[in-house]
Every structure is written in structure tokens, then in C-alpha cells.
Structure 1
Amino acid sequence: GSLLESTHMMNQTTCPDASLDFTGRFLLPVYILVFITGLVANGWGLKSLLHNWNKQGNVNMFVLNLGLTDISYLLTLPFLVVYYSMGSKWIFGETFCKITRFCFNVNLYGSIGFLTCISVYRYLAIVHPMRAMGRITVTHSVMISVTVWLLVNVQSLPDMFFSKTYGNNTEKCFDTTDEAHVEDYLKYNLGWTLTGFCIPLLITLGCYGHVIVVLCSTNTIDKVLKQRSLKLMFILILLFSVCYIPYHVFRNLNLWSRVLKKQGICFKWSDGVYIARQISRVLVCLNSALNPLVYLHAHENIRAQLRRLIQQALVYSTTKLKTH
């Protein structure tokens, strides 16, 4: 212990620590706000989803699971509010600390997984409506949802085996790990970022890229519908870029700067990275309050609207022709 302490002290003299006080002051009001708005928005969203269940088709299953990931995460926020309001003192024990962090990770990667499923579903509905839509049954949606939950749990499970406290002092509850295991955690986190975030991001961007090309090159699709579909795409791309990209970039950079700090290598940017990491944690927890925006758009049955709008366009053009 004393050897560790002396090396830690030595590193502290070479590398000044960023202000930890900043984290609590910054995260506390956001957690309270997200808890209240998130519960209201998700409760309302799930209620209207269940109310209109039969009108929507099989995208429902993914939207329902998206709502469940959000609510499971929101229920852990009161414990974090207590933690930060007590000046980063954790009073619930290490096991519960790990469970809280696990729920956060499952929600985060569950959200990304189900948003990706919704994106693929939208892609099939617009680009291959005749071929794909009839073949996707409720059973398929349930099986895909179960697979997403399994993958997310498998990816998040190793996190539970990393220490979340300072040695025997259980008053801390780290969202990554302590200094002793930071190198291993960085390796694990890079793999996790690739499978849990980069691959879903590429799938989503691929789907939307193709959808945008189809929407912009087809003249039969109504202007309003085109704008609406593009708007939804921008909402989802915005969710990814605002909530998820900064979080993953700065989480890995922060871990890397900690590994360097441990080796006595200091960079001017490490404090900036630490602060950006805290801001990105706020942005990522906003996803639970913003996801209900997706409910609103998942409610519209695109195929029925497309058909109705095309019919209206045909009727309009034929009456125009007759009057001329």
C-alpha cells in the first residue's frame, strides 16, 4: 500500500489533478432534471405507444424496449443524486455501486441497440417495402429484441469485475475503475466502444444514407413526407452525435490520459479532456429524456402514409388534367 501511495504522490507532483468538485456541481442538477423529465416523457410515450399498439406494426417492439432501457436507467439516478449531493460520498456499498453503473451501461448500449433496430426497420419500410415488410413478424421482433438485450448484458458484464472504489475505502463509486486497473480497463473499453457503439453507428449511417438517396431521387414521394422522414433521420443522427459520440471519444481519451499520468507522462490537454469527459457524461444521460422524440416519429405508419399521399397526388394530378 505504501509503495502505491508514494508512486501516487510522485505522480501527483508531476501531474496536477483536475478539480473533482466540478463533477458533482455539474452533474447533480442535470441528474435531477433528467430524472423528472425522463420519467414524465417516457411514461407518456409508453402510454401512447401501448394505446396505439395495433396501428404501428412491428417497430413497436423496439420502441417499447427503448422505453424500458430508459426507465431502468432513470430509476438509478436518485442514488447518484444522493452521491453527488453528499460531495461524492457513496453510502450504498460497493455491490450496489456496481449494479448502478451496470444499469447505466445496459441502458446506454440498449438505447444504441434499439435505435439501430428502429433505423434498420425504417430503412426496410422505405427502401424495400414490398419485399421486407410482410416478412418481419412479431416473433422476429421479439427474437431480435432478446438478442440485443443479451449482447448488451454480455458487453457490460466485465465492467462489474473491475474495482469501483479506492482500496478499502468504499465511499467512492467510480464509473470506470481505480488507478491500479486503468490499463486493463482501457483495453476493455476500446473493444466495448467498437462493438457497442462504432458498429451500430456505421449500420445506422449506412441505412440513413441509403434512405436519403432514395427519398431525394424518387419524385413519387410527397414533399411533406420527404421532409418528415428526413427530419426523423436528423433527430436520430443528432442523438448519436450529441449524446453518444462525445461520450465515447472522451471516455477513451480520459482513460488514456490516466494511463499516461500513471507513467508520469503529463499533457496539457489532460485537464481539458477530463472536463470534456464530464460534459459528455451529462450529454449521454440526456438520451433518456430525448429518446421519447423517437416515439413520436415511430408512431407514424410510413407505408400507409406513403400510399395515402401517392393516391392524393394521383387524384390531384388527374383533376388538374381534367380542368385544363
Structure 2
Amino acid sequence: MYDRMNNTACPRISFDFTSRFLLPVYILVFIIGLVANGWGLKTLLRNWTKLKIINVFVFNLGLTDVLYLLTLPFLVMYHFMDNTWIFGDTFCKITRFCFNLNLYGSIGFLTCISVYRYLAVVHPMKVMGRLTVAHSVVISVLVWLLVSVQSLPDMFFTKTYRNKPGKCYETTSTFYVEDYLKYSLGWTLTGFCIPLLITLGCYGHVIVTLGCKKRNNKALKWKSLRLLFILVVLFSVCYIPYHVLKNLNLWSRVLSKRRTCRGWFNGVYIAHQISRGLVSLNSALNPLVYLHGSEDVPAQLRKLLRDFCQMINLRVSPKSGPAPAAKVTEEV
């Protein structure tokens, strides 16, 4: 049992773990996410005249990813310089704001996609005929506004130390950590828990409906199950661990500020840093929704992989004239 004690007696926190872990993760997410989202958005824009209601949400989902990915080079430099932020207090706040827009914007648009799928399966005649692309555009604007309002208070918390080169806090400094914990708990409830319950409710009803119908559309059933699987992966890997561990880590900082030590402080800190890496993966995993939502994307992906493999085989094959090249092409 742990008693109240001086902070100097607390277990040492492995702060150096953050840079060692997040630096390669951010580099990987930036490369994969930028390529995948750029390609997915390009596909949607090329088929803009065929735009469907759900594709409006998918397009906005891609925009949230790109917005966050553009800030990753600065975070990579921050961790490469051993957690030394040289870009000033304002840009630190903008960087964290973009992360929050990506995180809660992704959750919001995934929830919209879930509700749309629910309406398409459970109420196809009553509701779907009345929904238009204009409705989805208005809903998307409302999601952006709601997420911005939820994220805006975060920018009023201290993020750096006197605007000098140093830390760029993910949350805030120790002085304001108690207030930030209260804000974070409310934010978690409205920005994550409620959308999670809506998503689970929608897909629970969809699965029950598809299972009870005697003459159900097998293609629609598998399409719904694929999207459900993607959402389960995103929420289980990216969103749930991050929100649980973020608030636990804030609570450990509150206890430490009150000069109360617990043996789990270091373990929670390391787990939270891992969850930060996992939540950033949502920008690389969200393009899976493109694969689900567009019939053209899987075919283009197969063609892209086939062309890539053909290019690699042509480069590694011996240069012995045109005949071998033709043979390689036929084999691919």
C-alpha cells in the first residue's frame, strides 16, 4: 500500500521512451497515410459526378487525415531533437489542434457513415429516398463545427514554457493539469463515448436486421460486415486505448502534483505513449473505408500492385535484350 510521500521518492518516469517510440511511428504514418489518403481522395475527386451521399463523409474523413499528416514533419523534428520544440507557442497549439480535429473529426464522420448504413439497411424506403447529397454536405459542416467547438478550449491551456524552445505539451503543464483532467473527461464523453454508443447501436441493429430477413441481399450483408470490421479495428486499436490511457495518465499527474505516489505511474505513462502512436495510425487505417465504400478502388489497387510488381521484376531481371523483358511481362 502506497502512502503520501515526497515526489523525489516516486518511481522514475521513462520520459525518454516517448521520442524513441513516437519518432519512427510518426515517420511511418506520414508516408503510408499521405500516399493512401492522397490516392483515395484523388479517386473520389475523379468520380465527383458520381458522388454518393456516403462518399461525402468519406471525403471529409480523408480531409481530416491530410490536415493532421501535414503537421507530422514538425512533430518528427520535435522528437528527433529530443523533445525540443523550436516553432513557438502558437504553432504548437495549432499542431495539437489539428491532431484533435483529425481524431474527433474521424470519429464523427465514421459515426455518420454508420448512421447512413443503418438507414440504408433498416429504413431503406422511409428515409433513404429523402436524403440527398446536399443533406450530407450540411451534416459534414455541422460535424466540423462541433469538433472545432469541442477542441477549441484545448488551445487556451498552456502548451509551451514561456514561448521558448522546449516542450510542446500534448495536454498542458502540471500547473493546469487538474482543470485539464476535468475538461478531458467531458471531452471524452461527448467526443468519443456518445459516438461509440451510436455506432454500436446502429451496427447492432443492422446485423440483427440482416440476420432476420429471409431474403436478404448477400452482397449488402457482407459489405455491412466488412465496414463493421473496419470500425471495430479502428475503435479497438486506435480510439479506446488512447482515451482510457490519456485520462489515466492525467490522473497520475494530478496525484503526483498532490505529492501522492503510486507504483503504476510509469507503466501508465509508457502505455499512454504507445496509445498515442496507435491513435496516430487512424490516419493510415482510415483509407480502408475507401476500399469499402468505392467499387473502383479495389480494382485500381490490384492494378497498382500489378504494375508495381511488374516494374520491380523488370528492374531485377538481367538486361539481355527485349525478349526477356517480354517474357517477364507475360509471367506477371
**TM-score bin, normalised by smaller chain:** 0.7 to 0.9
TM-superposed deviation, 1:167: 4.9
2-side partners of 1:156 and 1:222: how far apart? 41
Q: Which residue of 2 aligns with 1:232?
A: 227
Asked if 1:183 corresponds to 2:178, the answer is: yes
Identity of aligned residues (%): 74
Q: Distance in 1 between matches of 2:121 and 2:201?
A: 14
Contact 1:56–1:299 at 8 Å: present in 2 too?
no
| 1:192, distance to aligned residue in structure 2 (A) | 0.5
Q: Within 5 A, what are the aligned runs for 1:1-324? A: 11-167=6-162, 169-300=164-295
C-alpha distance in structure 2 between counterparts of 1:250 and 1:69, whole Å: 23
SS of residue paired to 1:121: helix
Alpha-carbon contact 1:11-1:262 (below 8 Å) kept: no
C-alpha deviation, 1:166, in angstroms = 3.5
Q: Which amino acid aligns with 2:98?
A: C
SS in 2 for 1:268: coil
After superposition, the Cα gap between the structure-2 partners of 1:286 and 1:11, relative to the gap in structure 1 and judged at 3 Å, is: farther
Distance 1:29 1:168 in 2: 27
1:68 & 1:26 partners in 2: Cα distance? 26
Distance, in Å, in 2 between the alignment partners of 1:211 and 1:143 is: 25
Q: Deviations over 1:274-305 (max 9, x none)?
A: 1110010011000000000011112259xxxx
CA RMSD of aligned residues (A): 1.6
CA distance in 1, matches of 2:56, 2:216: 27
Which whole-Å CA distance do the structure 1 matches of 2:242 and 2:12 have between them?
A: 21
Equivalent AA in structure 1 for residue 198 of structure 2: I
Distance in structure 1 (CA, Å) of the matches to 2:268 and 2:161: 22
Q: How much does 1:32 deviate?
A: 0.4
* Distance in 2 of aligned mates of 1:223 and 1:73: 37
Q: Is the contact made by 1:94 and 1:170 (CA closer than 8 Å) also made in structure 2?
A: no
Amino acid at match of 1:202: L
What residue number does 1:3 align with? none
Task: State the Cα deviation string for residues 40-80 of structure 1 (Å, max 9, x = none).
Answer: 00011111122233445211111110000000000000000
- Structure 1 letter corresponding to 2:82: G
Q: Does the aligned pair in 1 maintain the 2:58–2:290 contact within 8 Å?
A: yes
Aligned to 1:311: none
Question: Contact conserved, 1:11 with 1:261, CA < 8 A, in 2?
Answer: no
5+ residue gaps, structure 2: 297-332
- Counterpart CA distance in 1 for 2:219 and 2:249 is 44
Cα pair distance change 1:133/1:168, threshold 3 Å: closer
In structure 2, what is the Cα distance between the partners aligned to 1:159 and 1:124? 34
Structure 1, unaligned runs of 5 or more: 1-9, 302-324
SS at match of 2:12: coil
Matched residues in 2 for 1:227 and 1:142: separation? Answer: 27
Q: Distance in 1 between matches of 2:65 and 2:29?
A: 11
Whole-Å separation in 2 of the counterparts to 1:289 and 1:272:
27
